[in-house]
C-alpha cells in the first residue's frame, strides 16, 4: 500500500478560488453564448431599430416562404450545377 502524506496543509497550500476577473469573464462569455443560442433567428433586443426592423422583415418573409412549401427551392446538386456552370 502506498504511503499517505499526513502533513496538514497550510493556508497557502489550499486551492484558491478563481480570480474575480476570471469569474466575470467566464460569466460574460456564457451569457453571450446563451443569448446567441437561445433564439438564433430572432433579432437582438438592443439592436439598432432600423436593423431590427430589417431583420424582422427578412425573418417574416422567410417564414412565409417556408410555410408555403419553399416554392422555387432547388436541391443542393441543382444549385451547385447552376452556380458552377460558368467555371466548368
First to last CA, the chain: 72
25 within a domain of the structure (yes/no)? no
Cβ atoms of 41 and 60 within 8 Å: the answer is no
- Write out the residue range of the structural domain in which residue 53 sits: 47-88
pLDDT in tens, 1-60: 555 555 555 555 555 555 555 555 555 566 666 655 555 566 566 768 898 899 899 999
**Prediction pTM value:** 0.39
82 within a domain of the structure (yes/no)? yes
- How many folded domains does the chain comprise? 1
pLDDT in tens, 72-87: 999 999 999 999 987 7
58 within a domain of the structure (yes/no)? yes
pLDDT at residue number 52: 86
Chain centroid, CA 30 distance in Å: 10
Amino acid at each position: 500500500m502506498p504511503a499517505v502524506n499526513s502533513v496538514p496543509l497550510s493556508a497557502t497550500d489550499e486551492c484558491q478560488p478563481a480570480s474575480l476577473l476570471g469569474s466575470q469573464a467566464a460569466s460574460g462569455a456564457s451569457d453571450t453564448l446563451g443569448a446567441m443560442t437561445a433564439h438564433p433567428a430572432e433579432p437582438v433586443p438592443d439592436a439598432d431599430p432600423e436593423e431590427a426592423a430589417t431583420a424582422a422583415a427578412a425573418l417574416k418573409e422567410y417564414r412565409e416562404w417556408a410555410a408555403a412549401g419553399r416554392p422555387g427551392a432547388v436541391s443542393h446538386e441543382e444549385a451547385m450545377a447552376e452556380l458552377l456552370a460558368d467555371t466548368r
